[in-house]
Amino acid sequence: MIKAIQASKSERVLFVFLIALVFFTFSSFFLLKNKCLFVEKVNLNKINFTDPENVVVMNIECGDVIIELYPELSPQSVKRFKTLIENKKYDGSVFYKVAENTFVQAGDIEFGNIEYLDYSKIGSGKSGLGTLKSEIDEDFKFSEGSVGLARSTKFDTEDSEFFITLKEIPIYQGEYTPIGKVIHGLDILGKIKTGNKGVYVLRPDYINSFRIFKSN
């Protein structure tokens, strides 16, 4: 007669630990490979905007980010932004500067496209349309989801690059030109790949397409 072998208490604990470890490893791998899980999807056909000509839709890996533009605050900057969108200049533009839970930045259409990235020049690219005068609103607070035009260390150097804040950044108030606000998709922006502090993002995420809502 063969006797059943009883596992010791320590062996049972080790077995449970190994099972939990395997499960955790598999789950972590699955989540890393599926970073777009749990983001809120939106049906654009079911939304009625009061001013659809000043609503733009940015499609990135995890879905659509909807931005309402503020032409009353910065008419020339919003006009430039819409012109670049209509001409498909932002399609393929990478998020080369990303500070986790703080902001994302893209829009270098000369040196920052996924098809022709030049890390030695990125951030200095031009649109070919010339620079803009800064349109500063001293009362505009760059709260979570605010969209602004990037510039150099000097005012009146805005062109095509833009940033979106992922939290309130008080020091931006009165320093940057505001052009709009994210009304859907902050959770999607939070999935954008980040880089090491002070370093540009390698193999960055990018804009698939950008369009004005009226052209849907």
38-42, 73-77, 99-103: range with highest mean pLDDT: 73-77
pLDDT at 6: 60
pLDDT class for 16, splitting at 50, 70, 90? low
pLDDT range class, residue 41, cuts 50, 70, 90: confident
Model pTM score: 0.83
pLDDT of 73 over the 90 cut: yes
Q: Which residue has the higher pLDDT, 199 or 117?
A: 117
pLDDT of 32 above 80:
no
Assigned CATH for 44-215: 2.40.100.10
Domain ranges within the chain, ordered by starting residue: 6-35, 44-215
The residues with which 149 forms a beta bridge, in sequence order, are: 162, 177
User: Do the Cβ atoms of 192 and 205 come closer than 8 Å?
Assistant: yes
Q: pLDDT digit string (tens) for 163-204?
A: 999 999 999 999 999 999 999 999 999 999 997 765 689 899
| Per-residue model confidence (pLDDT) at position 214 | 76
- pLDDT band for position 21 (50/70/90)? low
Distance CA 94, CA 109 (A): 9
- pLDDT grade, residue 44 (50/70/90)? confident
CA distance 84 to 91: 10
For residue 83, report the phi and psi dihedrals to the nearest 5 degrees: -60, -45
- Write down the pLDDT at residue 29: 41
Distances (CA, A) of 24 to 15, 35, 36: 14, 16, 19
Query: What is the average pLDDT score of the chain?
Result: 87
* Cα gap 67→85, rounded to integer Å: 12
What six digits make up the tokens of 96? Answer: 């080369």
* 116 to 15, 35, 60, 88, 166: CA distances (angstroms): 51, 25, 18, 16, 27
Task: Please state which of the ranges 37-46, 58-67, 75-84, 108-117 shows the lowest mean pLDDT.
Answer: 37-46
What confidence score (pLDDT) does residue 38 get?
A: 77
pLDDT of residue 189: 96
Can you tell me the distance from the alpha carbon of 121 to that of 50, in angstroms, rounded to the nearest whole number?
Answer: 40
Q: What pLDDT is attached to residue 48?
A: 81
Angstrom distance (rounded) from CA 186 to CA 165: 9
Mean pLDDT of 33-55: 81
Looking at 11-25, 131-145, 202-216, which range is the least confident one?
Answer: 11-25
Cα–Cα dist 106/97, whole Å: 7
